[in-house]
Amino acid sequence: MPFLKALNVESKTKQGIHKSKGGLIRSFVTVEKGNIKDIEISGDFFLFPEEALFKILEQLKGTQANREEIQKSIERIYEKERIQSPGTLPSDFTESIMKALEA
Amino acid sequence: METWRFIDFGPVDIRNMMAMDEAILKGDGGNTFFFWTPKKSIILGFFQKAELELNLTNCKDYTITRRISGGGIAFSDDRGRQINYGVVETIGNELLPLDIIESYKQICGVIIDALIHYGLNAGFRPINDVVINTPYLNTGIRSKKISGNAQTRWEGKLLQNGTLLLDFDIKEMLRILNTPKEKFLDKKIASIEEGLTWLDRELGEKLDMEDIKDVMKRKFEERFHIKLKTGKLNAKEINITNSLLPKYYSHEWVFR
C-alpha cells in the first residue's frame, strides 16, 4: 500500500551495478520519502574533470527518486561542468542508480 | 628539433611516484616522458573504493594509494616485470588532439610501435587498451590486453599513465582482489589468460627491461618528432611534490 510505504521512515542503502562501455558503475542509494537522501557512486569508469562527480552526487541529493528526474539532474551537471566521460553516458549513471532503486 | 624531458625514476614507492606524477602535470617542467618501476603495490582509480575492490586482509604487505585519474586498479606484484610510464603533454595540437580517445590512441601508439618492433601484432582497443591480436580458430581474431592506460587533464595538458606487462602473476592478483571465491581457481585463471597477456609469454623469452624501455623511448621520439633529453624534476615540481605527499600517504585519500 503506497500510504504505508510513504510513512516508512526507515531507509536502507541499496546497491546497483551497471556496466557502461567505459567501465563499471556502482551506486549506493538511500531513499527517504521518495527522494534520494544519500548517494555514492564508485567504479572504474573515466570522467573529466574528476571532481565533477561530487557535484553530480550533491545535485542528486534531494532529487525525486525516478528515472526522469535523476537523468535531468545528471545532465544538468554534465552541461555545467562540461563533463567528458569516454564510454560512459549520463544515462549509464541513471541506469546504475535505477538498478539500486529497484534492488 | 624540439627537445622534451625524459626521466627514469627507477624502483619507487608508488605514493611518492603518484605525488611526482601530479606535480609534473601541475608544474612548469614542460612536456615530459617518464618511466618508473613500482614496488609491490596497488593503485586505485580515482572513483574506486578500496573496501569494494580489494580483499584488504590479503593486501597487508602491499603499498596502496589512489591516483588522480579514473579507471581500474593498477596492480604490481613483486616480480617487478612491468614498465610503467607517464606522459605530460600539452593537448590540442596536430600530434595530440583534444579528443580523449584520439589522444589515448596517439600515446598508446608508442607502446604499439614498440610491440610491433618485437614482431607482435599489437593494436589499440578503445577506450584505453593496447592488445595483442592473434588468430583464433578459423574464424577470427582474439585480442588480449597487454597494456592498460589512464588519462586525466589539467589546464590544457594531459597526464597519461600506463603499464606494459612483461610478466604477470594472475593468481596473486586474484588473491588481492575482492572477487568471489571460486571453486575452480584454475578455470578462473585460464579464463583471465584468454583476455590478458604479457610480453614474456608472447615472445617466449625474457627480454632485458632496459632494452624495451630504450625501444619505447625511440618510438616516442619518432611518434612526436622530438628528441628526449634526460632531466630531473625542477624546484617548483619538487615543492609541489612535497606538498602532495601527505595526500598520497593519507588514509582519507586511499580509503575514502
| pLDDT tens digits along B14-35 | 999 999 999 999 999 999 999 9
Cross-chain CB nearest to B72 (options A44, A53, A86): A44
A26 contacts in B (CB within 8 Å)?
Answer: 49, 52
> What ipTM does the predicted assembly reach?
0.93
Cα B157 to Cα B185: distance, rounded to the nearest angstrom: 43
Nearest to B65 by CA among B252, B256, B248: B248
Alpha-carbon torsion (B246, B250, B254, B256), positive or negative: negative
Q: What is the mean pLDDT of chain B?
A: 96
Residue A6 has a pLDDT of: 47
| Pick among 3.10.560.10, 2.40.270.10, 3.30.70.100, 3.30.390.50: CATH of A2-101 | 3.30.390.50
The answer to whether the Cβ–Cβ distance between A41 and B100 falls below 8 Å is: no
Mean pLDDT of B127-134: 96
Residue A1's pLDDT is: 41
Beta bridge partners of B125: B129
Q: What does the pLDDT read at residue B139?
A: 78
Any idea which fold B3-254 has?
BirA Bifunctional Protein; domain 2 (3.30.930)
Identity of the amino acid at B95 = L
Residue holding cell 567504479? A43
Provide the pLDDT for residue B137: 78
Q: Which residues share a beta bridge with A39?
A: A29
Burial of B65 (0-12, 13-18, 19+ CB in 10 A): buried
A21 and chain B in contact, CB less than 8 A: yes
Helix (H), strand (E) at residue A67: helix A67-80
At residue B250, does pLDDT exceed 50? yes
Chain A contacts of B49, Cβ < 8 Å? 26, 42
pLDDT band of residue A7 (cuts 50, 70, 90) is very low
Q: Is the dihedral of CA B228, B14, B206, B125 positive or negative?
A: negative
- What percent of chain B is predicted at pLDDT more than 90? 91
CA distance A32 to A17: 21
Average pLDDT rounded to a whole number, residues B186-192:
91
B128 and B148 Cβ atoms separated by less than 8 Å? yes
Label residue A22 by pLDDT band (50, 70, 90). Answer: very high
Q: Give the H/E segment covering residue A28.
A: strand A23-32
CA–CA gap between residue A40 and residue A97 (Å, rounded): 10
Whose grid coordinates read 569516454?
A: A86
Higher pLDDT residue, B73 or B182? B73
What pLDDT is attached to residue A10? 55
Q: Is A56 on the interface with B (CB under 8 A)?
A: no
Domains in chain A: boundaries: 2-101
Instruction: Grade residue A17 by pLDDT with cuts at 50, 70 and 90.
Output: very high
User: Of A45, A53, A86, which is closest to B100 when you measure between CB atoms?
Assistant: A86
